[in-house]
Amino acid sequence: MLSDREPNGVTEMSSGKYHEQATACDHCDWVNVLPPLQAGEQHDCARCGHLIVKCHPNAPQQLLSNGCSAVLMFIMSLCFVFLGFSSQGSHQQITLLDCIYGLMGEHYISLGIIVTLSLLVLPVIYLTAVLLTALAMRQGKLRAIHYGLTHTINALKPWLMVDVFLLGGLVALVKLQSLAEIELGLSFWAFCVFTICLFRTISFVDKRWIWHCLCGPAPTVAVRSGSALSQGLKGCQYCGALMTAQTHKCTRCHHVLHQRQQGSLNNTLALLFASCVLYLPANLFPIMITTFLGTSEPSTIMGGVILLWGMKSYLVAGVIFVASILVPVMKILMLFWLCWQIRFGCREYEKPTQRIYHITEFIGRWSMVDVFVVAILSALVQLGAMMNIIPGIAAISFAAVVILTMLAAMSFDSRLIWDKSEEITT
């Protein structure tokens, strides 16, 4: 158990200053010698241009204020009506929790678990970890629990999808506007503010800054121009510290070190092939089944796009087409191309190749919008024999495709893109 202590550099970090001798870029492994940074300054990688570290002024206070605001808005979004639906004298209202109960009640437990994690569990864990870490940064106290908290912050960030859920809610409203009168409840607006506060909190989280604040500067090692691998060093992907090749665990954050992710390409390819297998039923089978006056009408993803286009909701039809059809295909193809490029590609165009990888990281989670649309409609439109909506089997397949492609992008080690430029065999 670690005892409370005053880490080196806490005073400087509280004023927004940052100074580390050198660090390796997470994305290209280039060793960057960092100048002292003041509040509001940042440093980009000298080789790939990726952001290395950014000093946010008053970051602990910003994390606490935005994080607490997000928690307050989250609680409010659970306490009141989220959406209301009126049609031919029948009225239905739902809360956010009803989106989960509806899926569980229809025996779509897997889909309900996915929505529960995305909407409730992961944001709460993330905000809790951020607030506890920010308190530790302000107090200058380091305990064993903070190692786990900071690792949790980094691991959960890609899986925060409240903004995607909000977009799904707007799409659901457009789909229903021609059939019924829609009511936006107080929780809907609270959830909008919660989304803004959450992503403002995320914008003030910098993993190198946090570890420097909690533990002080990393141990000093001799460096020269080049990648960490070419110098027999390992760059920690969690805190940015540089360690010798013989070091198996970072001495600052205690994370296990790898010069390159083991089996990166094989893992990526395996996940991609699995996503390809599931992508076929996700598009061939109905993602949603609508029953109106006893007549059931299944709808595929493409069928929903065509329906919205016919309703002259061109913008929303375009959003669904891009998010649910174009993006998954593009992401799968781009990741296959990146794996091919590592194995057989030339030693040029590393920067454009890395930009393609960053695109795959960014766009992947937005494909989940159609799954959230189905979850919201399934909870909202339950009017007995007159009209109801339930998820189709494709909803589970499509959610699995999105998750697998996200995992494939995470398992791909972008540092491999740059290894050929230095004639390194890994």
Residue 5 is assigned to a structural domain of this protein:
no
Residue 40 is assigned to a structural domain of this protein:
no
| Domains held by the chain: number | 1
Q: What length is written for the chain? A: 426
Residue 149 is assigned to a structural domain of this protein:
yes
Residue 320 is assigned to a structural domain of this protein:
yes
Residue 174 is assigned to a structural domain of this protein:
yes
Residue 134 is assigned to a structural domain of this protein:
yes
pLDDT tens series, the chain, 426 aa: 333 444 444 444 444 455 557 888 888 888 888 888 777 788 888 888 888 888 877 888 889 999 999 999 999 999 998 888 776 666 778 888 888 887 776 667 888 888 899 889 999 999 999 998 888 877 766 666 677 788 888 889 999 999 999 988 888 887 777 666 788 889 999 999 999 999 999 998 888 888 877 777 777 787 888 888 888 888 888 888 888 888 888 888 888 888 888 888 999 999 999 999 999 999 899 888 877 666 677 888 888 888 778 777 788 788 888 888 898 999 999 999 999 888 876 666 788 888 888 888 888 888 898 888 888 888 777 666 666 778 888 888 999 999 999 999 999 988 888 886 665 444
295 DSSP β-pair partners: 292
Residue 332 is assigned to a structural domain of this protein:
yes
Residue 215 is assigned to a structural domain of this protein:
no
Quote the domain boundaries for residue 354.
Answer: 57-205+258-422
